[in-house]
Amino acid sequence: MVAALEWWSGTECTLYTDPKTYPLYGNEIAIVVLNHAFEIDFLCGWTFCERFGVLGSSKVLAKKELAYVPVIGWMWYFLEIVFCKRKWEEDRTTVAQSLQNLQDYPENYWFLLYCEGTRFTPKKHQISMKVAEGKGLPQLKYHLLPRTKGFYVTVQNLRGTAAAIYDSTLNFRNNEVPTLLGILNGKKYHADLYVRRIPLESVPEDEAECAAWLHKLYQEKDSFQEYYTRTGRFPGPIMSPPRRPWSLINWLFWSCVVLYPLGLLLAQLLSSGSVLTIAAAGVVCSAVSMGLRWMIGQTEIDKGSNYGIKTAPLNNN
């Protein structure tokens, strides 16, 4: 997927960050807090993981449904990705246990959090801001109200392991609306990512204070998005790492390993002359095509989950 973004579509990914913290990226364990407004924001995150050499070891707090997605979900399961049902009473223990299992992980990794809990849509934003109003919190223009409990549990269980929070804010130039289908069709996009490194010890240990800290962080993220909307760029210098050839080499290798024998098999089936065999091959190809389209559909905003649609109780973080 990273190869498709970088090499097939040629999408440009530009990093804005402090030159003093840039050398630390990829050389420490960190919690990444990323906004969730685009269909391919996860793919842009993977791209920067790859450029800093931590793609193979990085983790994410993902919804449980993704564990059942063929190939990708199964791979994530064996890579110790942390899954949640987004039901706090059930997740409290299981998420904490999964995070504790990462405390002795032998490699540097980035742990991705979407604190908003679901992808931004106008309807979800309207409901979220009603909750914010009821709690007496400032209105956000470009983000949903962050869910603080998952963030608190993550920080508490990775204290002493993770060195920092990477506050990451993503946007696309010229009001582009990127899609995974567009990437697969070779369409080029221009992604800009602003990253601030915040030492983990600066995050309060008290749960209420930690929640207030996260709300303040999202108010700052909102101001960065407002700056981007006005100027077309994020504040600070550009420190973009170059793309590396490994994702392309990996993609070419597995394409040869998988597609070559499949091509031979398909050629043999077609040359057999059997109508039944050809029909069966057509059914299998159609099923695979439908499966791939379904997987792509999981990233589409208009087909996203209904999580966040119902108005949450005012005391629900």
Q: Let me know: does 303 contact 297? Beta carbons within 8 Å.
A: yes
The CA–CA distances, whole Å, from 171 to 22, 23, 44, 210, 219 equal: 20, 23, 10, 26, 16
Q: How far apart are CA 96 and CA 122, in angstroms?
A: 32
Q: What pTM was estimated for this model as a whole?
A: 0.83
CA atoms of 191 and 19, how far apart (whole Å): 19
For every one of its 317 residues, what pLDDT tens digit does the chain have, with 9 covering 90 and above?
788 888 899 999 999 999 999 999 999 999 999 999 998 898 899 899 999 999 888 888 777 666 666 666 666 666 667 777 767 777 777 888 888 888 888 899 999 999 998 899 999 999 999 999 999 999 999 999 999 998 999 999 999 999 999 999 999 999 898 988 899 889 999 999 999 999 999 999 999 999 999 999 999 999 999 999 999 999 989 988 888 888 889 888 888 888 888 888 878 777 776 777 777 777 877 777 676 666 656 555 555 555 555 544 444 45
- Domains of the chain in start order, with CATH, are 2-245+296-303 (3.40.1130)
How far apart CA 144 and CA 121 sit, in angstroms, is 9
pLDDT at position 42 is: 87
Which strand (E) or helix (H) includes residue 60? strand 59-63
- CA–CA distances in Å: residue 54 to residues 70, 124, 167, 291: 23, 32, 17, 29
Cα separation, 173 vs 182, whole angstroms: 16
Q: What is the pLDDT of residue 315?
A: 43
DSSP letter (8 states) at residue 145? P
